[in-house]
């Protein structure tokens, strides 16, 4: 992990207001995967049944890799007509398409590639990999590090400005945090298609940034010239 700092400040009578920024990074330990199935058939029942079977096969494969039910969630199921345009006949129903999707959390990033490959193989040509995103299962420690970095940034700037005013920092009047969101990091190079080849997952680093505004009283000092 590492932290980076930057700061800014302004004065008001008897106080100094400083804004500090802190950033912290860590290697992601969670891979969020969206796996879909899409089946075409002449009839609604056949399409629905095929999608259900493919989804069950994918789910069973994931369970066999130790992925618990709480980390697998079905996010949708729909059946629609497969419409085509035919000259002289207009729009016609050529069959039906049934589709569903699973949102999966893989907590072992190192073995995630094999688990995904096996799941795709189990579902066959009906499977679609929609997205993969890296994240942290628990970012509380990372946010604490970012806050500490932001505080040190604000403190250093506050002490500098107090020194310039021939004063010292007194008690803290207020502290306000302005956290920034941490979105999952997409895995590059993923194609929306079925494939059985393993996909290399390089975790890289996830970063969190936060900003704090601190108001200190100034002790002693001189008026600005």
Average pLDDT, the chain: 83
The answer to whether position 48 is within a domain reads: yes
* Range(s) of the domain holding residue 176: 3-26+138-183+203-220
Domain shared by 64 and 143, yes or no: no
Q: How far apart are CA 40 and CA 126, in angstroms?
A: 9
The 10s digit of each residue's pLDDT in 38-92 is: 999 999 999 999 999 999 999 999 999 999 999 999 888 888 888 888 777 778 8
The count of structural domains within the chain is 2
Domain shared by 67 and 120, yes or no: yes
Contact 114, 200 (CB under 8 A): no
Q: From 77, 100, 134, give the residue that closes a domain.
A: 134
Domain shared by 142 and 130, yes or no: no
C-alpha distances in Å from residue 41, one per residue of 44, 119, 126, 184, 199? 7, 22, 12, 36, 30
Confidence of residue 223 (pLDDT cuts 50, 70, 90): very low
Domain shared by 95 and 52, yes or no: yes
The answer to whether position 168 is within a domain reads: yes
Q: From 105, 134, 163, give the residue that closes a domain.
A: 134
CATH of the domain at 92: 3.30.70.2970
With helix as H, strand as E and coil as C, how does 53-67 read? HHHHHHHHHHHHCCC
Domain shared by 34 and 130, yes or no: yes
Domain shared by 156 and 101, yes or no: no
C-alpha distances in Å from residue 174, one per residue of 116, 150, 161, 214, 215? 49, 15, 17, 6, 5
């Amino acid at each position: 992990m590492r932290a980076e700092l930057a700061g800014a400040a302004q004065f008001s009578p008897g106080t100094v207001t400083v804004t500090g920024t802190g950033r912290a990074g860590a290697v992601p330990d969670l891979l969020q995967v969206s796996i879909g199935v899409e089946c075409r058939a002449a009839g609604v029942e056949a399409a629905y049944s095929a999608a259900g079977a493919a989804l069950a096969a994918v789910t069973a494969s994931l369970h066999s890799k130790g992925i618990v039910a709480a980390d697998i969630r079905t996010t949708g199921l729909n059946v629609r007509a497969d419409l085509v345009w035919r000259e002289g006949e207009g729009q016609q129903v050529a069959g039906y398409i049934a589709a569903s999707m699973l949102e999966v959390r893989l907590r072992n990033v190192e073995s995630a590639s094999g688990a995904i490959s096996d799941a795709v193989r189990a579902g066959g040509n009906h499977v679609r990999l929609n997205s993969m995103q890296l994240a942290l299962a628990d970012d509380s420690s990372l946010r604490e590090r970012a806050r500490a970095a932001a505080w040190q940034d604000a403190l250093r700037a506050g002490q500098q400005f107090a020194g310039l005013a021939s004063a010292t920092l007194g008690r803290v009047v207020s502290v306000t945090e302005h956290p920034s969101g941490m979105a999952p990091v997409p895995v590059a190079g993923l194609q929306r298609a079925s494939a059985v080849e393993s996909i290399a997952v390089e975790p890289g680093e996830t970063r969190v940034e936060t900003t704090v505004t601190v108001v200190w009283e100034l002790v002693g000092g001189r008026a600005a010239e």
